[in-house]
Amino acid sequence: MTPPSAGVGTPDVHPTPTTSRQSGPPLLEVRDLVKHFPIRRGILGRTVGHVRAVDGVSFQLWPGETLGLVGESGCGKSTTGRMVLRLLEPSAGSVHFDGADVLALSGARLRAMRRHAQIIFQDPFSSLNPRMTIGAAIREGLTIHRIAAGEAADRRVRELLSEVGLRPQFADRYPHEFSGGQRQRVGIARALSVSPRLIVCDEPVSALDVSVQAQVVNLLQDLQRDRGLAYLFIAHDLSVVEHIADRVAVMYLGHIVELASATDIYREPLMPYTQALLSAVPVPDPTVRSTRVVLSGDVPSPANPPSGCVFHPRCQHPRKDEACTKLVPPLEEKSAGHWAACIKQPPTTVHWEVQKAAGGTRQPERYLPDL
C-alpha cells in the first residue's frame, strides 16, 4: 500500500494552501499533481519500478504574484514547472490556467494557452537550436502567435535583446557564440517576446553574475508591476528568492513541505528541512563562518521514498520519534497563511493520541534553531 502524500493528496480533508491576502480567482491552480516516471531495465525495457518525481502537489498563483519554488536538487521542481505548461503529461491531478482545464485543451486552444504561459528553461544550451540565430529564435514566437511580422518583428527582437542587456546587433549570431549567461538571457527574451501572463522561470538567473542578475530580476519585477505578470520562480539561490518572491513553496522528494509568505518562511521556517536549507546558504562574507544544520543520513530516492514523513531519516527536530516514521504529516496551516508539514511543530491536527497510537513518545514542541 502506498501512503497518501503529505496531506496534499486529500484535498477534501486538507484545503489547497492559500493566503487570505489574495482576492479574485487565481491565474493558475494546481491540484494533486503527480508524475511517476517508469524505471526500465534490461533489453526489453521491463518496468521495474517508478520514480515518484512529483507526488501530489497543490498550489495557486494569482496575477501579479511570484511564487518561489525551492528545494533539494531532484525533488521535482522542473517536472512540476513542465507539467503546468503541459510540456509533460501529468500522471494525475489537475491544472487550471485562467479558469480553463489545461489538461483538456488541444489544438488552437492549447496553442493560445502556450502563448500566455511561457517558460525559461534551466539549461539554455539544450533549449536553443544550434542552427538558428538567436534573432530567429526570439522572432519565432512573434510569428507563430501572429504578434508581429517583417520590420516590426525585427524591431521587437532588437528591443527585447536590449531589455535583457544584450546588444541588438547580436541578433544574427548563433548560440555557440555566446557565454552561458548570455544564452540564458536569450531564453528570457524569448519568453518575454509574446507578452505572456505567466512565466515558469526555471533557474532563470543562476547562470548570471550578480550585476546582470540584478538587472534581470529588476526587469522581471518591472514587467510584473506594469503588466501584472505572474511568476513561478524556481531557484536554488535563496537570497534571490527572498528578494523576488511574495510566497515561497519548499519541496522535498516530490512534496510541498512548507508554503508561506517569503517574510514568514525566512524569519520562521517551521519544517526542519526548510531550516536545514536556509542554514546551508553560504554567507558572502569571508570573515563569517556559517553555522550549518548539517543534514545527516542518506539522501532518499524518489523511487523508494521513506515511510511516514519523507524527511524523517534526516530530520533534526529534537522531538522526532516513531510516529514520524508511520504518519504522513499533512500540509497544515500552522499560523495564518503559513503551511507546513510537520507533526512535531505545534499546532497540529494530528492529535497527540493519534501520534501515541503510532508509537509516538515525544510530545510536539516548537523548534526553531538559530540560523
Partner 1 sequence: MTPPPKGADAPGAEAPLLSVTDLRTYFHTNNGVARAVDGVSFTVAQGETVGLVGESGCGKSVTALSLMRLIQSPGRIEPGSSVRFEGTELLTLSEADMRRVRGNRMAMVFQEPMSALNPVFTVGDQIAEVARIHSRASRRDAWRQAVAMLELTGMPAPEQRAHEYPHQLSGGMRQRVLIAMALMMNPALIVADEPTTALDVTIQAQILELLADLQRRTGTSILMITHDLGVIAETARRVIVMYAGEVVEQSAVGPLFATPHHPYTEGLLAAMPRMGRRRDRLRVIPGTVPPPTDWPTGCRFRARCQYSWDRCANEHPPLYDLGDGRRSRCHLAVEPGRRAHPHEPLAAQAVPAR
Ligand X SMILES: Nc1ncnc2c1ncn2[C@@H]1O[C@H](COP(=O)(O)OP(=O)(O)OP(=O)(O)O)[C@@H](O)[C@H]1O
Residues engaged in binding ligand X (CB under 6 A): 37, 51, 53, 73-79, 122, 176-182, 207, 209, 302
Q: Is 294 in the site for partner 1 (CB under 8 A)?
A: yes
Q: Which does 266 bind (CB under 5 to 8 A by kind): ligand X, partner 1, Mg ion, none?
A: partner 1
As given in the structure block, the three cell numbers for residue 70 are: 525551492
Reading the block at residue 157, the C-alpha cell is: 527582437
242 binds partner 1 (CB under 8 A): yes
How crowded is the C-beta side of 121, counted as CA atoms within 13 Å? 12
Q: Which of 334, 325, 313 is nearest to 360 (CA)?
A: 325
* # residues near partner 1 by CB under 8 A: 74
Min dist. Cβ of residue 353 to partner 1 (A): 34
Cell of 126: 539544450
d(CA 258, CA 2): 22
Cα–chain center distance at 108: 27
What the block records as the C-alpha cell of 185 is 538571457
| # of chain residues touching Mg ion (CB under 5 A) | 4
d(CA 174, CA 25) in angstroms, rounded, equals: 42
Instruction: Report the alpha-carbon distance of residue 230 to residue 28 in Å, rounded.
Output: 9
Per the structure block, which three cell numbers stand in for 288? 563569517
Nearer to ligand X, 24 or 42 (CB): 42
Q: Per CB under 8 A, does 157 bind partner 1? A: no
3-class DSSP assignment, residue 369: coil
Of 91-130, binders to partner 1 (CB under 8 A) are 122-126
Query: Which residues lie below 8 Å from residue 28, measured CB to CB, with a gap of 6+?
Result: 60, 61, 84, 95, 96, 97, 117, 198, 230, 232
Minimum Å distance from CB 309 to ligand X?
19
Whichever of 213 and 355 has its CB closer to partner 1, that residue is 213
- Selection from Mg ion, partner 1, ligand X, none that 70 binds (CB < 5 to 8 A by kind) is partner 1
Q: Which of residues 326-365 bind partner 1 (CB under 8 A)?
A: none
* Phi, psi for 23 (deg, rounded to 5): -125, 165
Q: If contact means CB under 5 to 8 A according to the sort of partner, which of partner 1, ligand X, Mg ion, none does residue 12 touch?
A: none
DSSP strand pairing (255-261 vs 247-252):
antiparallel
Closest CA to 51 of 84, 77, 75, 83: 75
Residue 193: CB minimum distance to ligand X, A: 21
CB of 10 or CB of 263, closer to partner 1: 263
78 belongs to the binding site for Mg ion (CB under 5 A): yes
Window 202-231: residues binding partner 1 (CB under 8 A)? 203, 206-215, 217-218, 221
45-74 binders of partner 1 (CB under 8 A)? 70-74
Query: Which member of 136, 147, 281, 354 binds partner 1 (CB under 8 A)?
Result: 281
Q: Select 69 or 171, whichever has its Cβ closest to Mg ion.
A: 69
Whether a cis peptide bond, with omega within 30° of 0, leads into 347 is yes
Residue 283 site contact among partner 1, ligand X, Mg ion, none (CB < 5 to 8 Å, cut-off depends on kind): partner 1
Q: Does the footprint of Mg ion cover residue 180 (CB under 5 A)?
A: yes
Cβ distance to partner 1 smaller for residue 100 or 371: 371
Q: Is 209 in the site for Mg ion (CB under 5 A)?
A: no
Nearer of residues 183 and 338 to Mg ion, judged by Cβ: 183
Yes or no: say if 144 and 191 are a contact pair by the CB < 8 Å rule: no
- Report, in angstroms and rounded to the nearest whole number, the Rg of the chain calculated over CA atoms: 22
What residues make contact with Mg ion under the rule CB under 5 A?
78, 122, 179-180
